[in-house]
Amino acid sequence: MSDFIPFMQELLEDWAPVSARRMFGGHGLYHEGLMFAIVMEQRLYLKADEVNRPEFETLGLAPFTYAMKGKDVALSYWAAPDEIFDEPSEAVRWARSAWDAALRGHLAKAQARSRTKARMANKKDSRSSRG
């Protein structure tokens, strides 16, 4: 593990405990089981969604991309502004925003799974009542 991961954990320790797991040549940063950031090639990328993405765009930051089958694929993790590395309160603000985006995504997926299960149960019930 590079020195960057422990540095990030220390930078965010006033906000929350942050764990790291190796993944795809980099690391995922987690809080309460949700990945809110990735570190690739010593660069921090934070989770973004429709709520917090405008702040990244306003600063001219870009999403993490990788090549797949000759095309660039963008993830919903955007480059963190460099200022956060010098200002712990800004690091915490951005990390919290990224974690909130991860939580919104997690809750939306859970709601979608619930709706799918309910539809499947309704189909099963309607088939068995016809039979």
CATH of the domain at 56: 3.30.1460.30
- The residue among 2 and 1 whose pLDDT is bigger is 2
pTM above 0.85, yes or no: no
Q: How many distinct structural domains can be found in the chain?
A: 1
Q: How confident is the model at residue 129 (pLDDT cuts 50, 70, 90)?
A: low
Q: How confident is the model at residue 110 (pLDDT cuts 50, 70, 90)?
A: confident
For residue 117, the one-letter residue type is K
**Which residues span the domain enclosing 43?**
4-130
pLDDT above 80 for 131: no
Distances (CA, A) of 107 to 31, 102, 103, 112, 125: 15, 9, 6, 9, 27
